Amino acid sequence: MGRGERLTPAEIDCGGLMKYAAIVVLILTQLAAAQRPAPMQNPGGLSGVYRATAPAAGSEERERYFYLTFFPSGRVRRSHPDIGLRGYDDAYQVNFELRNGIPKEVRRWGTYRLQGEQGQIVFANRDVWNFDLKGYPQTIEAQGRTYALLDSGNGLRLQGTYKNEKEDSFITFMSNGQMNQQGVVPNCVSAGERYGMNYHGIVGVTGQATPFCMDKPLPGGYNLGNYTIELQFSGSSNSFAFWPEPGANRSTPPAVYINDKKYLLVSGN
């Protein structure tokens, strides 16, 4: 508008109405926001493997376990880790399993959001779980179950001999970081055998050959951390998922889980 120009009464009325309408919309928006709960925000770092235990239904049955694995990215997996979490890339793994298209694997994944001490998980199959964080980080309440945080093994040195509850394999840990195992890692060699490594750093046989297995213990070292155990041998190493059973003494838990197999404490050192 140039200098000397004047608004007509109609223009004044129109401008006033527009301003009034804008104020009304703003007030209504604020009232609506005040009446509804604040939206759940992305989490700032829930992480770790949580386990809930259901008692055995009968004397012949074992306890049942339920797992939730949380990642700081806002993803959650409805299972324990199949491999150790050291160096684990949850974004890569989600995309990998989506590309494979195996429904059983895909529906284990979900995303979670938080609002104060409350949270919500939406899984890939559209299951919705609400959970309570009052006991976090030690416990999380979800679906009527108490999920307890499992020991990641960070800084842990074990001491004692553990035997597989179903097989003839065992492993003896020493507090100086040394170990002696038989059957945890197959002690097999063969001429011409070829090995490959996946993106998690786990070595596997890629070539075909007839292995020769030595039926004797194989000593080495071990390293624990982030739900991973690395068994170190001369010139090679193997990594597996790992967590100890909760116990009064952290260095001698009643059992440990290696590669999803349970090993029971049979003797302490």
pLDDT of residue 247: 84
In a domain? residue 17: no
pLDDT of residue 191: 41
Say which residue, 89 or 57, is predicted with more confidence.
89
pLDDT of residue 28: 34
Residues 161, 252: Cα–Cα separation, whole Å: 9
For residue 113, the Cα-to-chain-centroid distance in whole angstroms is 16
Is 241's pLDDT higher than 70? yes
pLDDT of residue 206: 45
Mean pLDDT estimate for the chain: 80
Is 214's pLDDT higher than 70? no
What's the mean pLDDT in 63-85? 93
DSSP of 121-179, one letter per residue? EEETT--EEEEE-TTTTTEEEETTEEEEEPP--TT----EEEEESSSS-EEEE-TTSEE
Q: Are strands 118-123 and 236-244 parallel, antiparallel or unpaired?
A: unpaired
In a domain? residue 177: yes
pLDDT of residue 253: 96
What's the mean pLDDT in 142-165? 96
In a domain? residue 206: yes
pLDDT of residue 193: 44
Is 197's pLDDT higher than 50? no
Say which residue, 187 or 20, is predicted with more confidence.
187
In a domain? residue 239: yes
The parent domain of residue 145 ranges over 48-149
pLDDT of residue 23: 39
What is the value of pTM for the model shown?
0.74
What's the mean pLDDT in 232-256? 92
**Angle at alpha carbon of residue 82, lines to 53 and 224, rounded to 5°:** 90
In this structure, the answer to whether residues 172 and 131 fall within a common structural domain is no
Q: pLDDT-derived band of residue 220, with 50, 70 and 90 as boundaries?
A: very high
pLDDT of residue 185: 87
In a domain? residue 12: no
In a domain? residue 67: yes
What percentage of the chain exceeds 70 in pLDDT? 71
Q: Which of 149, 178, 211 is the last residue of a domain?
A: 149
Q: pLDDT-derived band of residue 101, with 50, 70 and 90 as boundaries?
A: confident
Q: pLDDT-derived band of residue 14, with 50, 70 and 90 as boundaries?
A: low
In a domain? residue 78: yes
Is residue 217 exposed (0-12), middle (13-18) or buried (19+ Cβ within 10 Å)? middle
Q: pLDDT-derived band of residue 269, with 50, 70 and 90 as boundaries?
A: low
Q: Which of 95, 118, 149 is the last residue of a domain?
A: 149
In a domain? residue 232: yes
